[in-house]
């Protein structure tokens, strides 16, 4: 009998009834960690000396979990999957992790990510590519790649993630699990290595909406160290799940979902969009009203560039603290600026350096208004449009990406231009700080695909409840990755 | 001189009167043992976030109100991005782009050589200080105590015309900061640093016409008032000489630095090499609404400033303009003065004792107000003793010297030295007659019209009483008693 592949409530019950101990859970989780490490390369660090904790009435107590490697963890290597921090052991713990520890949760490993969260492939971490446990020829997506792979493989019921563009919600979709980022500021970012502060969210990857609610309840809260955090003590996400969604209203965006927009669509995309439409029908049977809405195509087309401009600008500034002087492996050089240059040139991968160049370019005095300020203006327009939708609808429901996870090699790029918005629309959730959750939505070519539900700020309970109800119409909740090839 | 100088200033003054730093909970006392007032955010450890110190914002707003600037509707900050080893984050939080600065516009009126002068304020902004680097040969040391100390930067238009005016202006500003409880504004502690810009133009041309302005040269990091004076004078002379020699085109728009050792300004960089700081709004600090109510509250909390105190001393206490000016020169002295009056001392006596004796002694002993043990209560007690005739004013001076730094109270000193003044007239009558009996020839001399023998006889009384007799009573008594003979 294994437990790490079960839901939190079931594991908790077993612990309370004495069918299993916290120590045994850790053992199981560590064994699975090592196995998955060999197969998929999901971890930077596996904590073989993880200690059991007392089992209390707290559902999270005594149960192992994983932490994305951009969360600062006291005494435990925290690299952000970057060579620039390959030996960095922090002396303080991120607030979100500290909160989980207070609930008795047990960290058993630190998961691989795209370097500092920049990238959506799981191929740019300094310890190598993370493979998709469903199909090792495919990517996990990212940047919370290791967390997604480990939860999908049943290493533990949940792992933390972070999400600047879609870094929780996309790998969750590609790994057939649930990925949730709550409203901006619900979970403190103190101790999360920043990528783009105005877009960065902490969040969680689980195998069910219910577990996502339980874990988020454990992570969230006002934090005096994060001025953007807010008091959510009157919100209990887990207790708010009742599955009662009669009369709720959802909308989907025609310009993103209509197959007619994609004349060159391949079979995977066709199947993916069909899955999506089928699920909408199931949702309607629950009493949810669903309508198609239209959003200005020009506005939608601008969205991916807006993300690139803003995220790169903030990133280049946020990562200016990485000089090798105070932390990180100090570089050689006979002058401070040479040391700094050597450290950064050798430490960062080419992808990150490319983004720094973009970020610097768009912030330069002569370019700032044209790029950075215009990007902020379009960000506002998109957020306003989505808020307008939220006046009429409880949430926007959309398919995640163009299908299942991409192949690691030989992926075709033909569709890129047509499908750019379909690929990247989850970033709108970051633009607005909206609560946004991805749940599994069946399979295409035997590998998982997902759908996303995004609502208005502070309406997390409503968004989760809708996801909870729609999840109940399908059989993918709690599923563990079965290798297809 | 044929040339008129136009001088502008950027004056940085640390806000020393807050408990903690401006975006960090570390103590704001950077003269402590190096690297002891440091929190993770001060060294930019990954994941740390700025948290605004409301007290620092309040002090900045207070300065803005005092200087008659316009306050913004929202308080927010911008990142000024550049790399330097003493700047751990790789950016400084500041307020560059309007309407970010805590103060916009406004005027400062001050006196220079008895003449009133006015300068226009460009802006006032609240920012954080960098760490302090010390270079010793090939080794550089960094003290992070200073990283994040709140800093007020005041930028004025080039309305000053001489080094004297610049120094008088700075002294005036420092007095404002001290009296308002914003900063100790101690140049010896490095709390005040200036960037000076200097240009010259033909004296007979209209300085309101920008066409007539000369080339502006900026001198960075002048850290004392003397330095400001010397740097300006040096720069005026340098530019005038070049102009005189017909080589004015050699004055280039550049940044120079003041070198204390050679007492000259040295080229740092040209305008064309100006750094692009890529300013953008700090995303981790939500905009803070500055309400009218809050501003009113702050206005009420503004302590009495120097000029208000001076007026009060003149009008309420009848102190001369000259003495009042001396009393307010240093806030600690003015505070001491007011406290002494509160303890019951006559305002005029208190002023005399402070302006002549106290300040005289401080000068002679080369000590400051911080080094004395004399309290306002002690001084008031001593003044009262003199008024009551318990001690003579001559004795008072002796007592004063003793209570200044010894920690003793006036009562203790009087007792120790047996200085109690004899004012008992019966006793003095007795002694007067003893003296007359011992010097019978003086009576004759007196009768013959040599009235100045009384001086000698009073002297004898003083001698007999070891100086404890009240000299006024002694003289009066002797006069009466000699007449009786």
- What does the alpha-carbon distance between residue A437 and residue A421 come to, in Å, rounded to a whole number? 18
Q: What are phi and psi of B211, to 5 degrees?
A: -60, -25
Residues B315 and B283 in one domain: no
CA of B79: how far to CAs of A324, A352, B147, in Å?
21, 21, 15
Domain of residue B469, CATH code: 1.10.10.410
Interface test with A, best of B43, B49, B85, B96 (most A CBs within 10 A): B49
Distance (Å) from the alpha carbon of B49 to chain A's nearest alpha carbon = 6
Asked whether B62 and B180 are in contact (CB, 8 A), the reply is yes
Residues in A 207-246 with any Cβ partner in B closer than 8 A: 224-228
pLDDT confidence of residue A235: 98
Interface test with B, best of A84, A187, A323 (most B CBs within 10 A): A323
Residues B311 and B283 in one domain: no
pLDDT confidence of residue B114: 87
- Is residue B418 scored above 80 in pLDDT? no
- What does the alpha-carbon distance between residue B77 and residue B125 come to, in Å, rounded to a whole number? 9
Asked whether B419 and B413 are in contact (CB, 8 A), the reply is yes
Residue B416 DSSP label: H
Q: What is the 3-state secondary structure (H, E, C) of chain A?
A: CCCCCCCHHHHHHHHHCCCCCHHHHHHHHHHHHHHHHHHHCCEEEECCCCCCCCCCCCCCCCCEEEEECCECECCECCCCCCHHHCCCCCCCCCHHHHHHHHCCCEEEEEECCCHHHCCCCCCCCCCCCCEECCEEEEECCCCCHHHHHHHHCCCCCEEEEEECCCCCHHHHHHCCCEEEECCCCCCCCCCECCCCCCCCEEEEEECCHHHHHHHHHHHCCCCCCCCCCCCCCCCCHHHHCCCCCCCCEEEEEHHHHCHHHCCCCCHHHHHHHHHHHHHHHHHHHCCCEEEEECCCHHHHHHHHHHHHHHHHHHHHHHHHHCCCCCCCCCCCCCCHHHHHHHHHHHHCCHHHHHHHHHHHHHHCCCCCHHHHHHHHHHHHHHHHHHHHHHHHCCEEEEECCCCCCCECCCCCCCCCCCCHHHHHCCHHHHHHCCCEEEEEEEEECCEEEEEEEEECCCCHHHHHHHHHHHHCCCCCCCCCCCCCC
| Within-domain flag for B266 | yes
The position carrying tokens 């003979």 is B485
Residues B278 and B322 in one domain: no
Q: What are phi and psi of A39, to 5 degrees?
A: -85, -40
Could you tell me how far CA A330 lies from the centroid of its own chain? 31
For B115, residues 6+ apart whose C-beta sits below 8 A from its C-beta are: none
Contact A313 B280 (CB under 8 A): yes
Element (H, E) at B476: helix B471-484
| Within-domain flag for B393 | yes
If one counts the domains in chain B, the total is: 3
Could you tell me how far CA B106 lies from the centroid of its own chain? 22
Residues B156 and B30 in one domain: yes
Chain B residue numbers touching A198 (CB-CB < 8 A) = 283
- The stretches in chain A having pLDDT less than 50 are none
Distance (Å) from the alpha carbon of B9 to chain A's nearest alpha carbon = 24
- What does the alpha-carbon distance between residue A39 and residue B348 come to, in Å, rounded to a whole number? 91
Contact A194 B47 (CB under 8 A): yes
pLDDT confidence of residue A411: 59
**Dihedral angle, C-alpha A357, A360, A361, A364, nearest 10 °:** -160
Distance (Å) from the alpha carbon of A119 to chain B's nearest alpha carbon = 19
User: pLDDT-based confidence at B1, cuts 50/70/90?
Assistant: low
Closest CA to B238 of B219, B260, B213, B224: B219
Residues in A 90-109 with any Cβ partner in B closer than 8 A: 90-92, 94
Find the range with the poorest average confidence among A463-472, B155-164, B322-331, B396-405: B396-405
Q: What are phi and psi of A378, to 5 degrees?
A: -70, -35
Asked whether A89 and A68 are in contact (CB, 8 A), the reply is no
pLDDT confidence of residue B167: 97
Closest CA to B12 of B196, B168, B217: B196
Contact B89 A226 (CB under 8 A): no
| Within-domain flag for B299 | no
| Within-domain flag for B53 | yes
pLDDT confidence of residue A464: 98
No. of helices (H) and no. of strands (E), chain B: 16, 16
Tens digit of pLDDT for each residue in B52-72?
Answer: 999 999 999 999 999 999 999
Residue of A nearest to B88 (CA): A321
Contact A72 B44 (CB under 8 A): no
Residues B53 and B168 in one domain: yes
Mean pLDDT of the region B85-102: 96
SS3 B142: strand
The full DSSP string for B253-293 is SEEEEEETTTTEEEEEEEGGG------EE-TTSPPEE--HH
CA of A282: how far to CAs of A271, A279, A470, in Å?
17, 5, 8
- Is residue B140 scored above 90 in pLDDT? no
Tens digit of pLDDT for each residue in B178-217?
Answer: 999 999 999 988 999 999 999 999 999 988 898 999 999 9
The percent of residues in chain B predicted with pLDDT above 70, rounded, is 99
- Total Cβ atoms within 10 A of residue A330: 14
- What does the alpha-carbon distance between residue A249 and residue A247 come to, in Å, rounded to a whole number? 6
Whether A298 and chain B come into contact, CB under 8 Å, resolves to no
- Is residue B470 scored above 90 in pLDDT? no
Q: Range of B474's domain? A: 425-484
Contact A194 B89 (CB under 8 A): no
Chain A residue numbers touching B47 (CB-CB < 8 A) = 70-72, 90, 94, 189-194
Contact B79 A317 (CB under 8 A): yes
- Enumerate the active-site residues of A: 68, 143, 167
Among B268, B294, B320, the domain boundary falls at B294
- Do the bridges between strand A106-111 and strand A135-139 make them parallel or antiparallel, or are there none, so unpaired? unpaired
Residues B318 and B404 in one domain: yes
pLDDT confidence of residue A413: 53
Q: In what order do the strands lie in the sheet with B280-281?
A: B91-94, B78-81, B280-281
Whether A88 and chain B come into contact, CB under 8 Å, resolves to yes
Report whether the peptide linkage leading into residue A147 is cis, meaning its omega lies within 30 degrees of zero: no
Chain A residue numbers touching B286 (CB-CB < 8 A) = 227-228
Contact A227 B280 (CB under 8 A): no
- Is residue B304 scored above 70 in pLDDT? yes
Structure tokens at A261: 């927009």
Q: Range of A67's domain? A: 1-485
Structure tokens at B121: 């304020």
- What does the alpha-carbon distance between residue B172 and residue B112 come to, in Å, rounded to a whole number? 10
Contact A363 B81 (CB under 8 A): yes
Whether A193 and chain B come into contact, CB under 8 Å, resolves to yes
Closest CA to A158 of A213, A120, A118, A232: A213
| Within-domain flag for B441 | yes
Residue B102 DSSP label: S
Residues in chain B whose Cβ is within 8 Å of chain A: 40, 43-52, 79, 81, 83, 85, 88-91, 140, 276, 278-280, 283-286
Query: Which of A85, A322, A363 faces B280 most closely, judged by CB atoms?
Result: A363
Chain B residue numbers touching A369 (CB-CB < 8 A) = none
- Do the bridges between strand A106-111 and strand A64-68 make them parallel or antiparallel, or are there none, so unpaired? parallel
Domain of residue A107, CATH code: 3.90.1300.10
pLDDT confidence of residue A255: 96
Query: Which of B40, B89, B285 faces A227 most closely, judged by CB atoms?
Result: B285
Contact A227 B140 (CB under 8 A): no
Q: What are phi and psi of B90, to 5 degrees?
A: 85, 5
pLDDT confidence of residue B338: 96
Residue of A nearest to B283 (CA): A198
CA of B469: how far to CAs of A147, B435, B484, in Å?
95, 14, 21
Residues B106 and B41 in one domain: yes
Query: Which of B45, B90, B285 faces A327 most closely, judged by CB atoms?
Result: B45
Diameter over CA atoms, chain A: 70
Asked whether B84 and B94 are in contact (CB, 8 A), the reply is no
Among B417, B449, B464, the domain boundary falls at B417
Among B385, B417, B449, the domain boundary falls at B417
Whether A113 and chain B come into contact, CB under 8 Å, resolves to no
The position carrying tokens 């911080």 is B370
Is the whole-model pTM more than 0.95? no
Contact A194 B286 (CB under 8 A): no
pLDDT confidence of residue A485: 56
Contact A364 B278 (CB under 8 A): yes
Residues in A 173-192 with any Cβ partner in B closer than 8 A: 189-192
If one counts the domains in chain A, the total is: 1
Contact B276 A364 (CB under 8 A): yes
Chain A residue numbers touching B285 (CB-CB < 8 A) = 227
| Within-domain flag for B360 | yes
Contact B46 A327 (CB under 8 A): yes
- CB pairs A-B closer than 8 Å: 99
The position carrying tokens 């802006």 is B123
């Amino acid at each position: 009998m294994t437990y790490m592949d079960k839901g939190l409530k079931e594991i908790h019950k077993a612990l309370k009834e004495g069918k299993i101990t916290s120590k045994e859970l850790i053992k199981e989780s560590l064994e699975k960690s090592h196995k998955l490490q060999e197969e998929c390369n999901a971890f930077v660090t596996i904590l073989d000396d993880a200690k059991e904790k007392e089992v209390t009435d707290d559902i999270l107590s005594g149960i192992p979990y994983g932490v994305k490697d951009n969360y600062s963890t006291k005494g435990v290597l925290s690299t952000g999957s970057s060579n620039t921090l390959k030996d960095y052991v922090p002396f303080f713990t991120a607030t979100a992790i500290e909160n989980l520890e207070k609930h008795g949760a047990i960290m058993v490993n630190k998961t691989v990510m795209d370097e500092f969260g920049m990238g959506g492939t799981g191929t740019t971490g300094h310890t190598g590519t993370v493979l998709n446990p469903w199909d090792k020829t495919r990517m996990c997506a990212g940047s919370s790649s290791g967390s997604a792979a480990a939860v999908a493989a049943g290493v533990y019921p949940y792992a933390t993630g972070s999400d600047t563009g879609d870094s929780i919600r996309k790998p969750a979709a590609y790994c057939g699990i649930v990925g949730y980022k709550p409203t901006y500021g619900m979970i403190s970012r103190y101790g999360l290595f920043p990528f783009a502060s105005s877009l960065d969210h902490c969040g969680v990857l689980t195998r069910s909406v219910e577990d996502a609610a339980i874990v988020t309840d454990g992570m969230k809260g006002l934090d005096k160290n994060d001025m953007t955090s807010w008091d959510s003590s009157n919100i209990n996400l887990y207790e708010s799940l009742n599955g009662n969604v009669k009369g709720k209203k959802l909308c989907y965006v025609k310009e993103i979902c209509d197959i007619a927009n994609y004349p060159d669509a391949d079979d995977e995309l066709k199947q993916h969009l069909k899955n999506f439409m089928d699920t909408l029908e199931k949702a309607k049977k629950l009493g949810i009203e669903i309508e198609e809405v239209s959003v200005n195509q020009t506005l939608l087309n601008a969205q991916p560039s807006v993300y690139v401009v803003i995220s790169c600008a903030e990133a280049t500034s946020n990562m200016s603290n990485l000089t090798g002087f105070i932390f990180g492996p100090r570089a050689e050089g006979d002058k401070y600026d040479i040391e700094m240059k050597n450290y950064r040139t050798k430490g960062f991968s080419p992808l990150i350096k490319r983004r720094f160049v973009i970020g610097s370019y768009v912030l330069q005095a002569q370019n700032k208004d044209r790029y950075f300020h215009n990007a902020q203006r379009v960000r506002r327009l998109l957020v306003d449009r989505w808020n307008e939708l939220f006046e009429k609808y409880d949430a926007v429901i959309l398919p995640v990406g163009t299908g299942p996870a991409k192949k690691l090699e030989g992926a075709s790029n033909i569709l890129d231009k047509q499908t750019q918005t379909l690929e990247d629309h989850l970033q709108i959730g970051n633009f607005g700080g909206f609560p946004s959750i991805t749940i599994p939505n069946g399979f295409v070519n035997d590998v998982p695909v997902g759908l996303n539900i995004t609502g208005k700020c502070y309406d997390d309970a409503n968004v989760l409840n809708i996801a909870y109800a729609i999840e109940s119409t399908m059989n993918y909740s709690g599923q563990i990755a079965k290798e297809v090839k | 001189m044929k040339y008129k100088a136009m001088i502008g200033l950027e004056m940085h003054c640390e806000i020393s009167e807050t408990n903690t730093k401006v975006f960090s909970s570390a103590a704001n006392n950077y003269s402590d043992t190096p690297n002891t007032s440091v929190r993770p955010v001060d060294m930019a450890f990954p994941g740390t976030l700025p948290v605004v110190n409301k007290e620092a914002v309040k002090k900045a707003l207070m300065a803005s109100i005092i200087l008659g600037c316009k306050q913004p509707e929202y308080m927010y900050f911008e990142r000024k991005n550049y790399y330097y080893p003493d700047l751990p984050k790789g950016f400084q939080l500041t307020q560059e782009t309007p309407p970010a600065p805590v103060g916009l516009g406004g005027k400062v009126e001050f006196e220079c050589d008895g003449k009133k002068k006015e300068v226009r304020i460009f802006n006032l902004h609240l920012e954080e200080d960098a760490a302090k680097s010390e270079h010793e040969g090939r080794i550089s040391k960094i003290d992070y105590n200073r990283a994040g100390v709140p800093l007020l930067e005041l930028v004025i238009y080039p309305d000053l015309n001489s080094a004297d005016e610049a120094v008088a202006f700075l002294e005036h500003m420092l007095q404002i900061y001290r009296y308002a409880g914003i900063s100790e504004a101690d140049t010896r502690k490095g709390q005040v640093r200036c960037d000076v810009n200097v240009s010259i133009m033909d004296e007979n041309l209209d300085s309101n016409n920008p066409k007539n302005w000369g080339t502006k040269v900026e001198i960075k990091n002048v850290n004392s008032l003397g330095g400001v004076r010397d740097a300006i004078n040096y720069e005026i002379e340098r530019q005038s000489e070049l102009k005189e020699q017909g080589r004015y085109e050699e004055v280039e728009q550049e940044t120079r630095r003041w070198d204390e050792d050679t007492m000259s300004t040295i080229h740092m960089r040209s305008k064309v090499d100006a750094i692009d700081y890529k300013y953008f709004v700090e995303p981790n600090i939500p905009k803070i609404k500055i309400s009218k109510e809050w501003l009113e509250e702050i206005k009420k909390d503004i302590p009495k400033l120097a000029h208000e105190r001076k007026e009060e001393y003149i009008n309420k206490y009848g102190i001369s303009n000259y003495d009042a000016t001396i009393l307010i020169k240093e806030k600690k002295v003015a505070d001491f003065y007011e406290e002494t009056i509160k303890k019951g001392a006559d305002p005029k006596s208190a002023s005399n004792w402070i302006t002549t004796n106290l300040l005289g002694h401080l000068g002679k002993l080369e000590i400051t107000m911080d080094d004395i043990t004399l309290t306002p209560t002690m001084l008031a007690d001593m003044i009262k003793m003199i008024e009551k005739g318990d001690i003579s004013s001559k004795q008072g001076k002796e007592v004063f010297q003793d209570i200044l730094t010894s920690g003793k109270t006036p009562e203790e000193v009087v007792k120790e030295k047996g200085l109690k003044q004899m004012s008992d007239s019966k006793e003095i009558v007795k002694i007067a007659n003893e003296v007359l009996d011992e010097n019978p020839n003086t009576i004759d001399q007196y009768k013959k019209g040599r009235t100045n023998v009384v001086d000698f006889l009073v002297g004898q009384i003083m001698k007999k009483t070891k100086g404890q007799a009240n000299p006024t009573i002694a003289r009066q008594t002797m006069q009466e008693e000699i007449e009786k003979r």
